[in-house]
Structure 1
Amino acid sequence: MAVVEVDGLRKRYGDTVAVDGVSFAVEEGEIFGILGPNGAGKTTIVECVEGVRRPDAGRIRVLGLDPSRDRAKLRRVLGAQLQSGMLPEKLRVGEALALYRSFYREGADPERLLADLGLAGKRGTAFEDLSGGQAQRLAIALALVGRPRVAVLDELTTGLDPQARRGTWDLIEQVRDTGVTVLLVTHLMEEAERLCDRVVIVDRGRPAALGTPGGLIAALDAPRRVRFRTEEPFDRAVLAGLEEVTEVRTRRSETVVTGTGDLLRAVGTALLRHGVVATETRLERATLEDAFLALTGRPYQDGEAA
C-alpha cells in the first residue's frame, strides 16, 4: 500500500478550478515532489492531503486514512510545515517546540530535535530574531515533533539565499533518512532535481507528467549544448561542418554549439585541430525546465498564476 494515494482530485473556488484531475501515489521512504509554477494548484493539493480543505471530487488516503473523515488520527501520523506559517514574534524557539510537543501523546524529544537541526544554540532566541534559514529549520522541527510517518514541506526554501537553501536541502535528506516519507511542494526546478525521487508536474491545476526527474528529462531526447569562450575570434565553419553539430552561435567571446551525440568530444577535437584555445568549456544537459516546455508547450515561469 502506498503511503499517500491521490486519485482524481478536483477542487474549485467559485468559478476557478484550482485542481483538476490530479492523481499520484507516494511510496514509503520517498521524497516525492509536487512541482509547478506559483499558482499551479500545488498548495491546494497538499491542503487536501492534510485535511485542511475538503476536495470537491476524488479520493485521498494517507496511510489508509481519509483526511476529511479521520482528521484526528491523521494528525498523529502526518506533520506539516505550512507555506505561510508564522509564529508570534516574541515566542522563543524552545517555547515553540515545547508548545507543539504538548499537542501529542507521544512525540519527539525537543532537545534532540534542536540538536539534530542545528538550533540548540538558539533555544532562547525569539522568532523575530531568527535568520531565514534558522526559521525554516524551526519549521522542520515543528513538523517533526509529533514523530510523523509523513511530513509535508510546502515551499520550504522560498526566499532563502543559496547557502541557506542548500543547507535546508541537506536537512530534508536527513529527515528522509530517519524513515519519514516527505511530500515536498516546490516551484524550484533545481530543488526538485536535487531532492526528489519522483515528481508530479502540475500546470494550471492539471497533471502534466509523473516520474523520476531523470526519467522525465531522458524522455525528451533533447539536443546537447556546449558553451565555451575564446580570447581570439575563430572561423565558426570549423564547427558548423561537424556531423554532430546542428547550430553554432557566437556572442562576443562566448560560443554556444548545439547538437547531438558525443558533442563535447567532437567540438574539443575540432578546436584543438585548428589551434583554437577554448576556456570555461561546459556541457549543458536538458533540465526539468526543458521537460516542462516540452510537456506544456510554453516556458516555465515561477511567477505564473493559474
Structure 2
Amino acid sequence: MLNYVWISMIAIAIVVGVGKDVSDEIANPYRNGRALEVRLDLRRQLDDERTRWEGDLVVGGEIFGTFYGVTAPGPVVRQSVQVTVREGKGTLLLTPGETTSGLWKTMAASGTIKGKLSGTLTNIQVVDGIPTGGSVEFESIRFVKLRAITQAALDFANTAVDISLGLIGIMALWLGLIKVAEEAGLVALLTRALRPLTRRLFPDVPHDHPAVGAMIMNIAANMLGLNNAATPMGLKAMEELNKINPKIGTATNAMCTFLVINTSGLTLIPATAIAVRAAAGSANPGIIIGTSIIGAGCATVAGLIAVKLLQRLPMYRVEGGKGHD
C-alpha cells in the first residue's frame, strides 16, 4: 500500500511540475531570448590581455522590475559578475550571493553551470579599454520544476545511501547479538523470566506456545531500536497467534494487544535513530535516549489501557470466540 502512496506522490509532483513548466514557457518569466540593458562596474582585471574582468553588474531597480514583471527589489540591483570580452564579443557569469534577486537565484539553479547563471554580452560599451555597459541576454531557462524534482530525487537517493551505509555497523552488531542469544538459549530463558508478564498481557495464549517466544523477541528488538530485526519476529508472532485463532480473519485480543505494544514503539535504546543521527553528523546522537523512553513508555501505557478497556466492551466482541475483538 505504501508503494502506491509513494508512486502517487511522485506522479502528482511530475504532473504539477510539468504544468508549471508549461505555464512558464507561455508566460516566459525568465525572459528567454530578451536582452536586459545593464551597466558594468568592473574593478579587477583577471588577466594580462585585458579580456577578463571582475566586478558588479548594475541595473536600476525600476528597469529590473519592468523587465521581469516583478516588484522592484530596490532602487539599484547590484550583482557580482565575471565578464570576458574577446574580439567585440562578451560573456558574463553571474554567481548568486545573499543579496541576489530570488529570480536570478532560481535561474542560476537551473542553468547549464550548476549554481551559476551565464549570459551573452552585446552592444558592449568600452571606456579606456574597460567594458562599462551593454545588453545581457541570459541563457534560456526552461523546465525549472522538472529539473528541481529530478535533482531532489538524486540528492535524496544519495542521502539514503549515506545513511544506509552508516547503519550497517550498528545493525550488524545488534542483529549478531540477537542471533547469538537465540542460539545460546537465552530466548527460552527470557521467555520463562517474562512468563508472569506475558500471562497477564496475553491470557488467551498458552505460556509454552511458540507465539510467546516470537513476541518477546520482537518486543526485545523494538526495545533496542532494531526495527528491521523486529519485523520478521513480529510477522512470525502474528502467524503463530493466527494458528490458535478460533475465527480466522478476526483479530484476537492477543493480536490487538501485541499490535499495540509493537506500534507504540517501547524503546530503551533507540539504536536505529541514534545511528541515523550519527550518520547525519549529530554532535550528540545519544541525547534522545531519555526522551525516547519517556515518550514511548507513555504511548505504550496509554495503548495497553485503551486495548484492555475496549476488549471488555460488548460492541468489540464477536460471536464464535471468547475475548475476541
> TM-score of the superposition, structure 1-length normalised?
0.26
- Report the structure, 1 or 2, having the larger helix content: 2
Q: Larger radius of gyration, structure 1 or 2?
A: 2
Relative contact order (alpha carbons < 8 A, sep ≥ 6): 1 or 2 greater?
A: 1
> TM-score of the superposition, structure 2-length normalised?
0.25
